[in-house]
Amino acid sequence: MGRGLATEEEKARYVRRMFGAIAHRYDLTNAVISAGLHRRWKEATVRLLDLRPGGRGLDVCCGTGDLALLLARRVGARGRVVGIDVSEEMLRIARRRAAAAGTGAVCRFAQGDAEALALPDAAFDAATVGFGIRNVVHPASALRELRRVLRPGGQLAVLEFSRPRHAVLARLYDLYSFTLMPWLGRLASRHADAYLYLPTSIREWPDQDAFAAMLVRAGFERVCYHNLLTGIAAIHVGTRPPSGHAPGVARP
Ligand SMILES: C[S@@+](CC[C@H](N)C(=O)[O-])C[C@H]1O[C@@H](n2cnc3c(N)ncnc32)[C@H](O)[C@@H]1O
């Protein structure tokens, strides 16, 4: 882990405190450092899901609720969306935004850990995680939890930073991530090192194929990914196998 966060508890504590501290400026900072691109990527993520009006959606590591609000739009007034995050500060903003968007009755936001979801088995038709899985101490545990709470045949879409496949773009992106982005991030978020943690954690995150393999090991099938900007970010999609279907994956 970057920044010398030696232990798992240290990482969990740092992540929780850091997101709590930047919550009130998180949306602004995201808009600044991604030049608004993150919104289009989130829309693309939700478009990949077969989620119908009246359906049940879950957004884990929901932050201020961008993906949850997009899911709410998809499921409509008869549907249900749950957003889960460790940070109460983030959740407070998500609730406010859902109310302002007229989806306060569709969305419920609750504090929780992605690795131990206080949700029933097979309760959701689709789930999303946006720029969150990288921050979880044991991502494989979170993926197994996501599989558990999806109904058989339900889909998971994970939007996460990844590895640019274009050599020149990769160099430029590296330069941006370790110079301009931390500076812009510090300016917009007013947090000393949150946007130093970001590029370091991205560098340590598995590439597209390694993360796809992690999804398969967690019990997802039909796993595929879509590169965004040649792989600066990627959307991975996997399906919980239909019931009775034993996926050929290793159990930890
Ligand atoms: C980079 S933000 C992404 C927020 C939102 N999904 C988005 O795309 O804008 C990551 C979020 O994950 C949350 N988070 C980190 N570790 C978590 C965990 N173990 N369980 C639940 N949420 C977690 C943080 O509090 C933060 O709100």
Per-position DSSP letters for 28-79, written without gaps between them: HHHHHHHTTHHHHHHHHHHHTS---TT-EEEEES-TTSHHHHHHHHHH-TT-
How far, in Å, is the centroid of ligand 1 from the Cα of 198? Answer: 12
How far, in Å, is the centroid of ligand 1 from the Cα of 179? Answer: 24
How far, in Å, is the centroid of ligand 1 from the Cα of 248? Answer: 30
H or E stretch covering 238:
strand 233-239
Quote the strand ranges of the chain, DSSP E. Answer: 56-60, 80-85, 107-111, 124-130, 150-161, 221-228, 233-239
Instruction: Return all residues near 27 (Cβ < 8 A) that are at least 6 apart.
Output: 64, 66, 93
State the pLDDT confidence band at 4, using cuts at 50, 70 and 90.
low
Q: Where are the domains of the chain?
A: 2-239
pLDDT, one tens digit per residue, over 71-95 is: 999 999 999 999 999 999 999 999 9
Distance CA 58, CA 45 (A): 13
Please report the atom of ligand 1 found closest to the CA of residue 115. Answer: 19
Distance CA 246, CA 161 (A): 30
The full length of the chain comes to: 252
Alpha-carbon radius of gyration of the chain:
17
Q: Which CATH number fits domain 2-239: 1.10.10.1100, 3.40.50.150, 3.40.50.720, 3.90.1640.10?
A: 3.40.50.150
Q: Is 225 helix (H, G, I), strand (E, B) or coil?
A: strand
226 or 252: whose pLDDT is higher?
A: 226
Among 54-63, 65-74, 80-89, 171-180, where is mean pLDDT lowest?
171-180
Distance CA 212, CA 146 (A): 15
Please report the atom of ligand 1 found closest to the CA of residue 137. Answer: 19
H or E stretch covering 224:
strand 221-228
How far, in Å, is the centroid of ligand 1 from the Cα of 85? Answer: 6
Taking alpha carbons only, the member of 219, 235, 224, 237 closest to residue 122 is 219
Percent of the chain with pLDDT over 90: 72
Tokens of 101: 């968007």
In this predicted structure, what is the pLDDT of residue 6? 66
Please report the atom of ligand 1 found closest to the CA of residue 59. Answer: 6
Q: At what angle do helices 208-217 and 139-149 cross, to 10 degrees?
A: 50
Tokens of 167: 């050599």
Please report the atom of ligand 1 found closest to the CA of residue 128. Answer: 6
| Residues flanking ligand 1, CB < 6 Å | 15, 19, 61-63, 66-67, 84-87, 90, 113-115, 130-132, 135-136
Which of 66, 85, 141, 198 gets mutated to test ligand 1 (max ligand atoms within 8 A of its CB)? Answer: 85
**Do 114 and 85 form a contact (C-beta atoms < 8 A)?**
no
52 or 250: whose pLDDT is higher?
A: 52
Residue 251 has pLDDT above 50, yes or no: no
pLDDT, one tens digit per residue, over 134-176 is: 999 999 999 999 999 999 999 999 999 999 999 999 889 888 8
CA angle 33, 37, 40 (to 5 degrees): 150
Distance CA 5, CA 1 (A): 6
Write the residue with the smallest CA distance to atom 13 of ligand 1. 61
**Do 227 and 161 form a contact (C-beta atoms < 8 A)?**
no
Distance CA 40, CA 195 (A): 21
Mean pLDDT score of the chain: 92
How far, in Å, is the centroid of ligand 1 from the Cα of 219? Answer: 22
